[in-house]
Chain A
Amino acid sequence: MLENNSTKKRTFQSWQAAIFITCLTGLFSLFLIGFLSVRYFHYSHTLPGQERRIEEIKSELGAAPGNEALLQEVRELDILTRSIRFQWYGVASRAGYLLLFNLAVMLTAAQWAKKRRERLPAPSSNKKYDEEYDSAAAMSRRTVAGAGIILGGLMAAATFFLNPAVDDYVIEVAEDEPVAKKEFPGPPDREEIGLNWPRFRGPGGLGVSQFENIPREWDVETGDNILWKSPVPLDGQGSPIVWDDKVFLTGGTETEKQVYCYDALDGELLWTGDVPELNVSVSDIELNIDTGFAPATPCTDGRQVYAIFPTGDVAAFDFNGDRQWVVNLGVPDNVYGHASSLVGYGNTVIIQYDNGQADDDQSWLIALDCETGDTVWRTARDVMNSWTTPIIIETQYGDQLITSSEPYLIAYNPQNGEELWRADILSGEIAPSPIYAEGLILAISPYVAMIAVEPSGPGEGDDNREVKWEIDRGIPDITSPLSDGERVYMLGTYGGALSVHYLEDGRPAWQDYIGGDFYASPSLVGDSIYLFCAEGAGYILAAGDEYELLGQYPLGEQVQASPAFAEGRMYVRGEEHLFCIGYSE
Chain B
Amino acid sequence: MNPMRRTGIILLTALIISLFFCFAAGADTGALRFPPPDFESGYEMPATETPPSASDIYEYLAVIVLAAVLGLGTYFVFTKRKRKYIWGLMIFSLAFFGFWRRGCICPVGATQNITLTIFDQGYAVPVVVIILFLLPLVLSLFWGRIFCGTACPLGAIQDIVLLKPLSVPYWLEVPLRLLGYVYLGMAVLLAVTGAGFIICRYDPFVSFFRFSGSLGALMLGGAFLVVGIFIGRPYCRFLCPYGILLRHLSRISKWKVKISSDECIQCRLCEDSCPFGAIRQPTGEASGEELARRKKMLAVSIVLLPIIVFAGGLGGARISSLLARAHPDVRLADRIYREESGEVAGTTDQSEAFRSTGDQSIESLYELSAEIQATYHQGSRLLGAFLGLVVAASLIRHTVRRRSREYKADPSDCLACGRCFELCPNERLRRQRIKEEEDLRVG
Contacts and interface: CB of A to CB of B under 8 A. Distances in A.
B171 A283 contact: no
Given A143-B174, A167-B370, A325-B361, 6 more contacts: A121-B268, A129-B282, A130-B283, A151-B178, A167-B369, A283-B47
Contacts of A374: 360-361, 364
8 contacts: A40-B215, A107-B163, A121-B423, A140-B171, A143-B175, A155-B319, A156-B318, A165-B324
A546 to B, nearest CB: 54
Contacts of A85: 34
Interface in A134-149: 134, 136-137, 139-148
B358 A326 contact: yes
Nearest to B405: A129
A96 B394 contact: no
Given A159-B322, A164-B325, A144 B338 contact: no
Interface stretch (B130-138, B256-264, B327-335): B327-335
Query: For the complex, would chain A's binding face be called helix, strand, loop or mixed by DSSP majority?
Result: helix
Query: For the complex, would chain B's binding face be called helix, strand, loop or mixed by DSSP majority?
Result: helix
Contacts of A148: 308, 388, 391
A151 B287 CA distance: 34
A97 B208 CA distance: 10
B172 interface: yes
A265 interface: no
Contact of A144 (B273, B285, B340, B394): B394
A113 to B, nearest CB: 9
Contact of B338 (A133, A166, A167, A325): A166
Interface in B294-353: 297, 308, 311-312, 315-316, 318-319, 321-322, 324-325, 330-331, 333-334, 337-338, 340-341
B25 to A, nearest CB: 13
B175 A278 contact: no
B284 A128 contact: yes
A184 interface: no
Contact of B341 (A164, A167, A171, A323): A171
A163 B325 CA distance: 9
Given A142-B171, A172-B341, A373-B359, A166 B322 contact: no
B384 interface: yes
B370 A134 contact: no
B388 to A, nearest CB: 8
A327 interface: yes
Contacts of A276: 357
Closest 6 CB pairs of A and B: A130-B284, A129-B284, A147-B175, A139-B171, A164-B321, A123-B268
Nearest to A33: B222
A78 B37 contact: yes
A166 B178 contact: no
Interface stretch (B109-117, B395-403, B410-418): B395-403
Interface residues of A, number: 63
Contacts of A328: 359
Given A140-B174, A141-B398, A156 B315 contact: yes
B63 interface: no
Interface centre among B169, B171, B178, B384 (most CB of A within 10 A): B171
A151 B282 CA distance: 32
A58 interface: yes
A130 B283 CA distance: 5
B186 to A, nearest CB: 12
Given A140-B171, A145-B395, A169-B369, A164 B322 contact: yes
B429 interface: no
Nearest to B364: A374
B261 to A, nearest CB: 18
Given A129-B281, A165-B321, A328-B359, A121 B178 contact: no
Interface of B: 34, 37-38, 47-48, 160-161, 163, 169-172, 174-175, 178, 182, 208, 211, 215, 267-269, 271-273, 281-287, 290, 297, 308, 311-312, 315-316, 318-319, 321-322, 324-325, 330-331, 333-334, 337-338, 340-341, 357-361, 363-364, 366, 369-370, 373, 384, 387-388, 391, 394-395, 398-399, 401, 423
Contacts of B271: 121, 123
A169 B315 contact: no
A527 interface: no
A166 B284 contact: no
A131 interface: yes
A52 interface: no
Contacts of A107: 160-161, 163
A283 B46 CA distance: 10
Nearest to B376: A165
B290 A134 contact: yes
Contacts of B370: 167, 169
Contact of B315 (A123, A145, A155, A166): A155
A221 B89 CA distance: 87
Nearest to B40: A71
A162 interface: yes
B211 A97 contact: yes
A278 B359 contact: yes
A38 B186 CA distance: 36
Interface of A: 40, 58, 78, 82, 85, 93, 96-97, 100, 107, 110-111, 114, 120-121, 123, 127-134, 136-137, 139-148, 151-152, 155-156, 158-159, 162-167, 169, 171-172, 276, 278-279, 283, 323, 325-328, 372-374
B175 A155 contact: no
Contacts of B387: 151
A145 B394 CA distance: 9
Contact of B331 (A97, A152, A165, A278): A165
A78 B38 CA distance: 10
A511 B217 CA distance: 74
B48 A155 contact: no
B268 A110 contact: no
Contacts of A146: 175
A141 B322 contact: no
A171 B399 CA distance: 54
A66 to B, nearest CB: 11
Contacts of A147: 175, 178, 391
B163 A111 contact: yes
B351 to A, nearest CB: 14
A328 B358 CA distance: 10
A82 B38 CA distance: 13
Contacts of B172: 143
A161 to B, nearest CB: 10
Interface centre among A40, A58, A96, A133 (most CB of B within 10 A): A133
A339 B332 CA distance: 34
Given A137-B398, A144-B398, A147-B178, A169 B337 contact: yes
Contacts of B285: 130
A57 B175 CA distance: 56
A159 B337 contact: no
B126 to A, nearest CB: 14
Given A129-B283, A137-B398, A159 B318 contact: yes
Contacts of B34: 85
Contact of B373 (A137, A143, A144, A167): A167
Contacts of A97: 211
Contacts of B321: 164-165, 167
A136 B319 CA distance: 34
B284 A151 contact: no
A107 B394 CA distance: 37
A7 to B, nearest CB: 20
Given A155-B316, A169-B369, A140 B286 contact: no
B316 to A, nearest CB: 7
B334 A120 contact: no
Contacts of B423: 120-121
A139 B395 CA distance: 11
A165 B322 contact: yes
Nearest to A276: B357
Nearest to A374: B364
Given A120-B423, A129-B282, A278 B357 contact: yes
Nearest to B340: A171
